Amino acid sequence: MTKDYAVGIDIGGTNTKFGIVDRKGNILEQGRMRTDTHENAEDFISELYVNLSKLIDSHGGSEKFKGIGVGAPNGNYYTGTIEYAPNLKWKGIIPMAELIEKKFELPTKLTNDANAAAMGEMMYGVAKGLKHFITITLGTGVGSGIVIDGKIVVGHDGFAGELGHIIVKPGGRLHKGTGMRGSLESYASATGVRETAIEFLTNEPDTASLLRNYSIDDLTSETVYNCAIQGDVIANKIFEFTGEVLGEALANFVMFSSPEAIVLFGGLTKAGDLILKPTVRAMEANLLPIFQNKVKVIFSDLKEADAAILGASALVWESEH
């Protein structure tokens, strides 16, 4: 029987998304489940199996499937393991590819979630045809995939491209997951925007803000966005600040690998120009002249998570070439 389909799985800190993908990169059906409600990887895989088996069965059963591709935080392409992922509850080294392969009885490959997304962008997204680009996921955390000369940079051990954990403000905000101070992820993630909101509201107790109508628990990057588009001064300052921090970091990345484009995706990009404009401005201001006005900063046009699902599924076809 011809193996027409692949499964692509994107394991994120909060949610896991999965899809059935054909050889042309069409996502035929997809689903999602919580990641963070599972205390250990085995429980997670059990629920994943229940959810995903239905989709596999409704597409002809596992004989029609060539394999499973997984993108996961701190995923290692060489070993198929997830190692010490600060944004996951499962600690230590998890042999995720092996566990999934046993459960589903399908060949399984795994890579870093952000590398999967970069591959999705390169094969099916805005980075199609580009040889030098960087993707940055602005989600619960900040992930990254670096492409140089058309290849994903994995480094000598499979872990390259952890740009979310780069220190952008030495001695700055504490990142609870890693214990580091001043990392990009502490600022330019949904979590970071929320923390910036709390900080700004606390530091300026006398400035009126729509954000004060929300309880601390309801202060999310979405509520900040909703207030910002209504002209709220503090909400706008929050995006301005977030963009500045992100743009300064992007300038550093450009001076490293000189990419043609930086592709942004993930929840924060829903803020559109509110985040894009200060980001580009800060990036340009921190670049040497030889790099200025050359690098396109663009939003992914793939639907949320599609890039990662597609990129993960591409791992399955990869072995055929």
165 forms part of the interface with a copy of itself (CB under 8 A): yes
153 forms part of the interface with a copy of itself (CB under 8 A): yes
How many helices (H) and strands (E) in the chain? 8, 12
Which of 309, 305, 318, 315 lies closest to 109 in space, CA to CA?
A: 315
Identify whether the C-beta of residue 184 lies closer than 8 Å to the C-beta of residue 142: yes
Task: Report the nearest approach of a copy of itself to the CB of residue 1 (Å).
Answer: 37
Q: Cβ closer to a copy of itself: 106 or 163? A: 163
Identify whether the C-beta of residue 211 lies closer than 8 Å to the C-beta of residue 235: yes
Task: Report the nearest approach of a copy of itself to the CB of residue 32 (Å).
Answer: 27
185 forms part of the interface with a copy of itself (CB under 8 A): no
Task: Report the nearest approach of a copy of itself to the CB of residue 252 (Å).
Answer: 4
Instruction: Annotate each residue in 244-263 with x if it binds a copy of itself (CB under 8 A) or - if it does not, as one string.
Output: ----x--xxx-xxxxxx---
* Alpha-helix residue ranges (DSSP H) falling in 67-207: 96-104, 113-124, 190-203
161 forms part of the interface with a copy of itself (CB under 8 A): yes
Q: Cβ closer to a copy of itself: 55 or 180? A: 180
Task: Report the nearest approach of a copy of itself to the CB of residue 256 (Å).
Answer: 6
**If you count them, how many residues does the chain have?**
321
Task: Report the nearest approach of a copy of itself to the CB of residue 249 (Å).
Answer: 9
Q: Cβ closer to a copy of itself: 12 or 75? A: 75
240 forms part of the interface with a copy of itself (CB under 8 A): no
18 forms part of the interface with a copy of itself (CB under 8 A): no
Query: Which residue in 29, 36, 47, 83 binds a copy of itself (CB under 8 A)?
Result: 83
289 forms part of the interface with a copy of itself (CB under 8 A): yes
Beta bridge partners of 7: 20, 68
Task: Report the nearest approach of a copy of itself to the CB of residue 95 (Å).
Answer: 15
Task: Report the nearest approach of a copy of itself to the CB of residue 164 (Å).
Answer: 9
In whole angstroms, how large is the CA radius of gyration of the chain?
20
Between strands 261-265 and 133-138, the pairing is: parallel
129 forms part of the interface with a copy of itself (CB under 8 A): no
156 forms part of the interface with a copy of itself (CB under 8 A): yes
Choose the binding region for a copy of itself from 57-65, 165-173, 188-196, 197-205 (rule: CB under 8 A). Answer: 165-173
SS3 15: strand
Q: CA–CA separation, 258 vs 75, rounded Å? A: 25
Q: Cβ closer to a copy of itself: 84 or 214? A: 84
CA 159, 78, 153: angle at the middle one, nearest 5? 45
Q: CA–CA separation, 193 vs 241, rounded Å? A: 9
Please name the amino acid found at residue 14: T
Residue 61: CB partners within 8 Å, gap ≥ 6?
A: none
Burial status of residue 139 (CB atoms within 10 A of its CB: 0-12, 13-18, 19 or more): buried
Rounded (10°) CA dihedral 149, 257, 177, 245 = -130
> Which residues contact a copy of itself (rule: CB under 8 A)?
74, 83-84, 86, 131-132, 146, 148-149, 151, 153-163, 165-170, 178, 180, 248, 251-253, 255-260, 286, 288-291, 294
